[in-house]
Structure 1
């Protein structure tokens, strides 16, 4: 207190900080979603190729969704995939199909209309998501007006590697995101998907602030036998750089994300109800009610909305209801990455990044396109050659659908094979880095060194108390050194270097629990 600068007599209070600068834990679960959105416009300003931080799905709707007036009779569809029913001579061996009037029809999408980001963000928030970044690299492209070849993998030419890589590059200037997610990556070709994953892992290695969550091409409709080729393609195409910054989950998940109002006759045959009418109202089984509804859709004689016409068709035709239900189910099969990000966020908020995001259910998941057995998971969990571990999503009796794995892609590494270890280290590294910034340009002397040690030590003690570090005592869990003769030489000090050495014992998950049972011999009483 400056006693010489008081204008009047009286009593004055001078507050002195009782505590030194302290380290504060950085946020650990802020995903960045890169992909295509219904729009990217807010109050006349474009947000294409701009990383935007949001805190809720309502924020996402305000900026990246088409305007939806609450009194609108026909609200706009934020995502409107198109599907075709292709008649087959016999029961199809591959792909989804339905049977109507003794005829088989394969259900094939127009691949140009398939996108995943919108529904992935919805799943993220349903599963406990909070703050996130959205990088919209474009809006939906035009449809091709034809179905893809039956039995082939969906590749959307409107989704381009160039667009997504440009969006990824924008995150080089955003250190806050801790997870990178590209839901539409599996809509690229196998080779382009591999190039994207390699770039994501490289960027994570350079930034040291984020991990990438991947999905596997083919996980939406895996062959019960040949699915292993999809796994092999993935492992071949992920490269060898930054594997401890990568996480992958398999397969996709069947969800309840698409509702009845999201799919109608507009989503079939590119909106051509004439083709639809030939299936649900064939000449061999005429229905005058269906014919009248379809005629009114083609040549409106009233002001009925799409919703009203759709409801009329649902009531008039069981076959139409069946078609809509199946298309809704297929359109709701999504990459798991968005939901996983939500589970990670919820787990971090409840416990911390040191808790594995595994043995947990996924809200909204109601089915899996393939049920992985214990023996099948063994080949996913450990790969002797590449070491690229894949986390399974499995169905368990009476427990439902659970995330059943906690490994990074670096499965052969004793240091980095577990997700919570890698994420805890990112959390500690970035938190300590932020704490150390407070001492830039401070005197490089003993007082500063002791303050640094105390600041970081207090932070690590708190992490240890929460279960993030293992050890019977704080001294067993970590150590912090900073000083002349321990971490620095006199030359280091002259050159302006202050070196802090931190050692931590990170808690590893109990991945294998072995129960030993031994029959005890009867003893005499």
Structure 2
């Protein structure tokens, strides 16, 4: 309160400071994903962080909370993720799935489903693609393997990944309004019915909160059939319900990445660590390799001072067949759902261009291939669905350009208002920014002075983001309008009830999804 000279008892000069500038709207953060899933552990300085949203700003912080501590040097670093694959000789090529010919025999290399998890590598992929701040909700540690591989060509369903765990982790984010994306990389490891329930829960919570989008992966995207993949897409569309579609975005197919390096895996990732079956590969009767056989013996009885990494490297150097097997295992481990990379791309585009730019026409860093090469005719069925309108964003390979995210639509693909991801996220940013700024006027007098202050505050904010390109129009009046006042947005009854209504209309920029260039020939002129 300003000091009144009349209230003073002492003659003199008094200073009365008057605020020259009204309250301002500060743009809220737009790219803070929350990863929900399983981690090696969830403990820091003796305290458990299970089912607790933890904000991190780097992969080093993720490691501090959610990975095993490394032993002192010179011991090898702790293994954070050790999936198991089974090398099995087959009498004939399987009808489904991939197989490999080694020394003239047919082999399959398939995972133990109980050992497959995606969150750890997805977080790595997030930071590699420009990710910054993120929340991690660990719903548990890794469970025991099943002791056998999945059938060739079958969907990987991890019995340790529980719908109740992931839904509980999702519910923990209801009080964290700062989160702008929900990412559950291990959702595709659920059964089809459980996956459907989880996706519907994510979209419903996104719709209720009004602050976060759900980035969804599609079952079957890890090994799609070049012809029957359309059934996977149809199953996905049938499994997402009809609530919150404008808050959801799906990407297809899975990415072949370089996240896990070859020296991070070894023979301990094969057949449960049993190396007896490797003898037929590295030392076949048709091509004896005594050196490789000796290394196998050393693995069973390690010489003093020899580490697993050294023995594994020696075996790869002495046997090209074993190295072939390890390269296949590495490729399979590095096949990841795209949601983690997309969360990083959203962050990168927001930070470098703005949330009003579509997170598309960008190369996912760390991706070296796709599980399915999509062409124009294939993408037509993904991008537009006349029945459900549920668009699926394609990730494609283009000659001379590499891999690009080639889609920018929400699941509400038939809506003129919410068809595009950038539109949905821009409006969300404006809503939340204005909402936080307007809190300064809660309990203020509901009169013309307050209305003018609120209107001026919002108009200044919208003018600034119009200058940056978020809103279309040659001048601010073409880009937005803000109205507030008695007889304009409020009735006398509203004022009696303590309600102040503000009407904001926006002309948000839309991405140029289809660029049409007209070419016409003219007759020669003198």
TM superposition score category, shorter chain reference: over 0.9
Aligned to 2:477: 475
- Give the root-mean-square deviation of aligned CA atoms: 1.7
SS at structure 2 position matched to 1:360: coil
TM-superposed deviation, 1:72: 3.8
CA contact (8 A) 1:484 1:490 kept: yes
TM-superposed deviation, 1:7: 12
Counterparts of 1:344-423 in structure 2, within 5 Å, are 344-423=346-425
Deviations 1:406-457 (A, max 9, x none): 0000111111111111111111111111111110000000000000001111
TM-superposed deviation, 1:295: 1.3
Aligned to 1:179: 181
SS at structure 2 position matched to 1:361: coil
Q: 2: CA distance between counterparts of 1:11 and 1:133?
A: 54
Aligned to 1:306: 308
Indicate which of 220, 223, 245 corresponds to 1:221: 223
Indicate which of 513, 518, 521 corresponds to 1:519: 521
TM-superposed deviation, 1:38: 0.9
TM-score by length of 1: 0.97
Aligned to 1:294: 296
Deviates more, 1:292-301 or 1:51-60: 292-301
CA contact (8 A) 1:159 1:184 kept: yes
Aligned to 1:492: 494
CA contact (8 A) 1:194 1:237 kept: yes
TM-superposed deviation, 1:84: 0.8
TM-superposed deviation, 1:18: 1.9
Counterparts of 1:16-415 in structure 2, within 5 Å, are 16-69=18-71, 71-415=73-417
TM-superposed deviation, 1:315: 1.2
Indicate which of 507, 512, 523 corresponds to 1:510: 512
Aligned to 2:459: 457
Q: 2: CA distance between counterparts of 1:76 and 1:285?
A: 36
CA contact (8 A) 2:363 2:405 kept: yes
Q: 2: CA distance between counterparts of 1:125 and 1:11?
A: 59
Q: 2: CA distance between counterparts of 1:70 and 1:460?
A: 55
TM-superposed deviation, 1:262: 1.4
Gap change, CA 1:89 and 1:473, over 3 Å in 2: same
Aligned to 1:440: 442
CA contact (8 A) 1:268 1:276 kept: no
TM-superposed deviation, 1:94: 2.9
CA contact (8 A) 1:179 1:213 kept: yes
SS at structure 1 position matched to 2:437: helix
For structure 1, list consecutive stretches of 5 or more residues without a partner in the other structure: none
TM-superposed deviation, 1:6: 9.3
SS at structure 2 position matched to 1:449: helix
CA contact (8 A) 2:363 2:402 kept: yes
Indicate which of 444, 466, 469 corresponds to 2:468: 466
CA contact (8 A) 1:41 1:47 kept: yes
SS at structure 2 position matched to 1:402: strand
CA contact (8 A) 1:388 1:411 kept: yes
SS at structure 2 position matched to 1:387: coil
Aligned residues: 524
SS at structure 2 position matched to 1:39: coil
SS at structure 2 position matched to 1:201: helix
Q: 1: CA distance between counterparts of 2:377 and 2:289?
A: 51
Q: 2: CA distance between counterparts of 1:193 and 1:3?
A: 67
Q: 2: CA distance between counterparts of 1:218 and 1:378?
A: 19
Deviations 1:324-356 (A, max 9, x none): 111101110100000001011010011111100
Q: 1: CA distance between counterparts of 2:498 and 2:429?
A: 26
SS at structure 2 position matched to 1:99: strand
Gap change, CA 1:121 and 1:6, over 3 Å in 2: farther
Deviations 1:68-102 (A, max 9, x none): 24624321111111101111223344323222110
Aligned to 1:427: 429
